[in-house]
Amino acid sequence: LLVTLLRSARVRSSVSHQVQTQEDLVCTHVLRVAVKSPVRQTTMLSVRPRTRRDNKQHLSVVLFLSLSLLFGLSSSLFHDDAQHLEQTETTVLEDEFIVFFDGFEEETVLERTIKESVIKSDCAWEVIHRHNAALNYPTDFLLVKIDETNKTRQAQLLTEIEALDHVRYVTPNLKYHFTKKLYSYPAAPRFSKSLLSPISPVDPTSLSGDDEEESCRSPHLVFSHDFHESPTNSSSHNHRDAPDDVFFEEDMANHFASSWQERSLHAATSQMPETNVPTMLNADFLWDKQVTGVGVKVAIFDTGTSPNNPYFKNIAEITDWTDEDSFDDTKGHGTFVAGLIASSQPDCMGLAPDASLYIFRVFTASEVSYTSWFLDAFNYAIHTGIDVLNLSTGGPDYLDRPFVEKIWEMSANKITIISAIGNSGPLFGTLSNPADMADVIGVGGINSMGKLASFSSRGMTTWELPHGYGRVKPDILAFANNVLGLNSKMGCTHQTGTSFASPVVAGSVALLISAVPEGRRAKIINPASIKQVLIESSELLPGTNIFSQGAGQLNLLSAYELLNNYEPRASLFPSELDLTDCPYMWPYCETPLYATSMPLIVNTTILNGMGVTGRITEGPTWSAISFTPHESLHQPSDLADKDILQVAFSHSDVLWPWSGFLAIFFRVNPRAANHHGVVEGMIRLTVTSPGAIGEKTKRQTSLELPVRIQVIPTPPREKRLLWDQYHQLNYPQGYFPRDIVPSLVDPFDWNADHLHTNFRQLFQHVLSLGYFIETLGESFSCFDASNYGTLLLFDPEAEFLEDEVAKLRSDILDKGLSVIVAADWHNTDMIDGIKLLDKNTQKQWQPMTGGSNVPAINTLLDDFGISFSSQVVQGSFRLEKSEGFYGSGSTLSRFPAGGLTVTAHLDDQVVKYLKSINVQVPVEIIGLVNASSAFLSPLNKNKEKNEDALSQRGLPNSIPVVQETFADVSVKEHPKAGRIAVIGDSSCFDDSSKVESCMWLLDDMLAFAAQGVVSDRFLSYSRKLSSNLDKQRHSFSQRSEPLLFPPSPLCSAIQFQPLPDAADPQSGDPISWKPLVYQQINIQGVFEPRITQIQTDYFSFFSSLSDVLLGANVLPYIVIIAFVSIAFRLKKRRQQGDFNAHQLFLS
C-alpha cells in the first residue's frame, strides 16, 4: 500500500480507483471507499500536471497519510489477530479407503473377515495398521490401501468389499493441508464437500464468520483448527467455523476441484473489551467452595498443546493421532481452547483448572489431517470414559452419516458433547452440525456487554423441512468476543468466535460436574441432565428471539444451584409456548392463527434425563383452558371456548440418545372465523424410561406444556399469501449451487430458502404491508386456492408433477389465484463448469440444477405462454428512482401479447464465463400479465396463428389499462382468472445473496398480483407487448439433467384430536402468564403496517450498528477518511491561495 501511494505522487494523469462494497471494507485492512451499490464502481480522481514543488508537497502528504495508516492499523494489521485465514487444500487419497463395519471388533478380526470373504484379485490391497492410542481397543473400521493402477479392478474390489454382510459402507480417506492467506470475503458460510458414504453423497461442512468481524471469515473444513475461521474438509469430521487467529480456510480453487464436505473451527478477531470469562461468570465463588473440576475428564479435539506447558495442572493424556511423533501446538488454537477450560495462568485462568485434560491432537505441524485419524480419536474417547467433549468445529451437512452416527454413539455412552453453533450470523438458517443435533449442546456467542454477537449463527434447524418446522437452536449462549485465554507462548491473548464460546461452556460443565459428589455423579450426570440444567438456569437476552439465543446466556451459579437439587426427569424445550410473546417467540408471535390457515407447527425438544432411551407412554393430549376475547373486534358466537383451537401431534417413537422431538400442529376451527382473542391451554404427556441399575420400577415424568396463541378473524383473501416451500431442495440433499455465480467461496445453497431463514427480510416486509403469509409444505394438490390471493414461488429446485401443473392452471383460471414467480439462472454450460469431484466414485459431481430449476418452471407456466431462457445476466437495473440488482438471473424468452415487460441492459455472464468477454445485452427481466389473456394465446404455434386465433375469437392483442389497473379486464372464458408476475432472479429478495434489497419491486408485484394495480414505476418504465415475445435462440433444448421430484407427493394426514363434548376436567386454574398485549391488526378495514415490528427492526439495526462500531476495526478507517478529506480540501484551497502544506499538517 505504501509503495502504491508513493507511486501515485508521480502520477500526472487521471488515476482510476476501484471501489468495493462496504462488507469488503470491513474485512480487509486496505484503504477503500465504501459505497452502497452492490456492484463495483469506479471513481475518477483528476490530477492536474504538477511541478517539482507540487510533487514534493504531494509526496509529503502521501508519506504523512501512509504513516498515519500504518500506525492506525498496526493494532490489527500486524497484530496476532490479523485476519489471515488458513485455506484447506483437500486431497483425495486415491489408494486409501475406510471400510465401516456394523460393530466393534479387534482390528485383526475385521481384517480376517475381508481376507476370507473377498475373491482373490489381481488388484493388490492391504490393511494399513494405525499405530495410535486406539491400537489396543476394538474398532468399527479398517483403513485399506488398494492399488490404483487399474481403476476398473479397484472399483470391482471396492464393490465386493462393500457387499460383505458386516460392512456398512466404504468411503475414501481424505488428506487436509492448510495454507494461510488474507481473506476479504464478506460474512458468508462456505464449505467444500466430500462424499462420506454412499448414503450421504454430499457433505459440505465449513462455515465461518467470526464475530462482528468474524463474519468476514470463511467456513472451515471438517478437520480444521483455526484462530480464524477456515474450512476444513472431511468426510466424517465436523469442525466449526473458527474465528480466532488460527482459522483454517480452504482454497476455493481446490474446493471446487476436489473438496465437498468441510467442517471448520470458529474463531475471529475483534476490538471489543477483553472478556475474562471466570470473572464474568463468578467462577471464584465455586473455587472458594473447592469446586475446581477435580475428577472430570474433558476431551479437546484440536491442534494439541505442549506437554511442558506449566499452566496446565492436570493433563491426564496427550494423544497424537497424526503421523508425527510430536505433541506441540504450533498453531496455538488447541492451547487457547484448553486454556479456557483448565488454564492456571493467573492472568487468564480457566474455568476448571483441576479438570483432567485429554488432548487429542488431530493436526500435524504442517496442518494436515485425515478422516481416519478423527474416527480413531472418537472411538478412543468412548473407550477412555470421557465425561465432556469439546468440538469447536462444524459444518452444514446434517446428512453426514459417519459423523452424525459417531456423535450419537458418543452421546449414548454418556459423553456430554458441546459444540460451537457457527459464525455465519446474522443470517438465519446457518446452524452448524453437530451443534444442531438434539443431544448436543449447541453454543452461540455473546460479547462482553451481554449482547448477542452478530456473527453467531442463527436457527432454525432445517432437517425437518419441507413438511415440518425446525427445532430451536442454539441451546445456550456464552462469551465469544475478545475472550481472554492462554496462548502457546505461556502468555495471555484474546480471541473471538463461537470456537471459544464452546470451551467456555465445556469448562463450566466440567466445573459443575465436579461439584456433584462422586457417589451421585453416575446417577444424575448425563448429556440430557447437563443440558437441562444449563437451559433452565440461563438468562434471556432482551429484544432477542428464540432462534438467535435459545434459552439465553449461561448462568454458572444458577446452574450450580439447580444441579445441587437435580433428580432424573424429562423436560421440554421450550418449556412453555407463549406465542404472543414478541420478540422472543418470533416468528410465531408475528403470525396469529385464523380459520382456514395452514397449521402452525411448533417443534419442541424432549430431553430425557432419566435414561438414554425412553418413550412417550401417555398422551400427548390437548386441553383448552380459556379464551380471552379482544373486545374491539370479537363477534359473539355460540362456539364454546374449548372448541376454538384444534391440535395434533407427531413425536419420536423412541427417545434416543437422551432426547427426541414433539411436533405440535395448531389450527383454528373453521366455525371460529370471526373470533379474535387469545386461547390458553395445556399439552400433557408422560415419558417413561427403564429404571437404572438396581431399580425395580421404571422411571416416569409427567410433563405439562402451557400454550397461549392469538386467534384473529380470517383476513380477506387478497391479503393472504402462500409461500411454496415444498419445491425447495437444498444442500445437503444434493449439490445445489448458489443463486449467484460464480460463488467460489460458498458454492452450496444450504440455507433452506425458507421465510424464516434466508428470506426473513421478505417475510418481515410483507407483514409490514399488512399481508398475511403462510407456508405450503405439501404439493399444490393439497391446498384450497379459494382461500389465497397470491402464491409465491421463489427459486424452486424440484419438478412440478403433472397433477400440480393441472391444479395450478385451474386455480389461476377458475379460482382467481395470482402467482408471483422469481426464478434464477439455469445454463448447461455454466452447470458443467462448476462440477465438483465425487470422492467416493472419483467422478465429477454435477449440480442438480442451476440457481433454480428453470425448465420445471417453464413447464409450469407453459400454458400461459411464459418461459425463461438459458441466458444468464447480471447487473443493476432501475425503475424510476428505485434501483435493483440482478444477481445471476435468467431472462424472459416467451411472454404473451398484452403483457407488460421491463427491459434492462445487463452483462451476459455466459459469454463472460466462456469467452472472458464483457458484453452488455438488452433483455426482458420482469413481466406482468392477466392470466386469462395469457392462457388464450396458444404460443405453441407461430405468431401468425396466434394473432389469427385471437382475432377469430374477438379478443384484443393487448390488455387495456384502465386507471392503472388490470382489474377491469374480463374475458368470457375465464372472468375470474388471476394474474401472473414473473422475474428471472431472486437475489435481491434473498438475504444470503448479500446484494442490495429490492423490496420496492416486491411491493409493485404484490400490488399487481393481489389487487390488479400497476404502479407508476411499471407504467413509466415498461412496455406493453403488441405481439407475443418469442426468443427461441435462448430457449432450452431437450433436458439432459435428471428430474428432481420433491419428497412425498401425498398430502399429509394430520390427525387432529376430536373436540371434547364437555369441559375438560383437567383444566384447573388459569395459567400464570405475563400481562396480555394484543397484536394490533385491523382485519376488516385497511391493513395497517405493523409498527411494533418495524420498531423492533430499527432496534435490531442500531444494536447491530453498535456491535460493528465497537467490535470492528472502524476507527482507523475514520482517521484515514478524515486525512484524505483534509488533503482534498487543501488542494481546493491552495488553488485559492488560502493554505500551504505545512499549515495542513498542523490542522
Q: Which residues are catalytic?
A: 302, 333, 499
For 682, the grid coordinates are: 395445556
Contacts of 944 (CB under 8 A, 6+ apart): none
User: What is the four-CA torsion angle of 184, 187, 189, 191, rounded to 10 degrees?
Assistant: 0
Q: Report CA Rg, the chain.
A: 31
Q: Is the dihedral of CA 47, 48, 50, 56 positive or negative?
A: negative
Of 846, 1009, 844, nearest to 926 by C-alpha is 1009
Contact 192, 222 (CB under 8 A): no
Q: Report the alpha-carbon distance of residue 387 to residue 527 in Å, rounded.
A: 9
User: Phi/psi class of residue 422: alpha, beta or left (left: φ > 0; alpha: ψ in -120 to 50)?
Assistant: left
Q: Report the alpha-carbon distance of residue 29 to residue 8 in Å, rounded.
A: 19
For residue 1032, what is the DSSP state? G
- Helix, coil or strand: residue 1007: helix
Of 854, 591, 602, 819, nearest to 724 by C-alpha is 819
Q: Report the alpha-carbon distance of residue 206 to residue 222 in Å, rounded.
A: 7
- Helix, coil or strand: residue 164: coil
Q: Report the alpha-carbon distance of residue 395 to residue 31 in Å, rounded.
A: 33
Contact 499, 267 (CB under 8 A): yes
Contact 249, 270 (CB under 8 A): no
b/e burial code for range 693-730 (CB count within 10 A of at least 16 → b): eeeeeebbbebebbbbbbbbbbbebbbbbbbbbbbbbb
Of 656, 350, 685, 674, nearest to 528 by C-alpha is 656
Q: Edge-to-edge, what's the strand order for the sheet holding 167-182?
A: 125-128, 139-146, 84-105, 167-182, 368-370
**1103 membership: H or E segment, kind and range:** helix 1091-1111
Q: Is 122 exposed, middle or buried (0-12, 13-18, 19+ CB in 10 A)?
A: exposed
Of 840, 992, 864, 854, nearest to 930 by C-alpha is 864
Of 318, 348, 332, 360, nearest to 267 by C-alpha is 332
Angle 556-564/527-537 helices, nearest 10 degrees? 130
Q: Report the alpha-carbon distance of residue 293 to residue 287 in Å, rounded.
A: 9
For 177, the grid coordinates are: 493441508
Residue with C-alpha cell 378495514? Answer: 1085
User: What is the four-CA torsion angle of 614, 618, 621, 626, rounded to 10 degrees?
Assistant: -100
For 164, the grid coordinates are: 460383505
**Side-chain half-sphere exposure of 872, counting CA atoms within 13 A:** 24
- Helix, coil or strand: residue 86: strand
Q: Report the alpha-carbon distance of residue 1080 to residue 768 in Å, rounded.
A: 12
Contact 566, 533 (CB under 8 A): yes
Contacts of 588 (CB under 8 A, 6+ apart): 577, 579, 600, 602
Contacts of 1076 (CB under 8 A, 6+ apart): 580, 628, 678
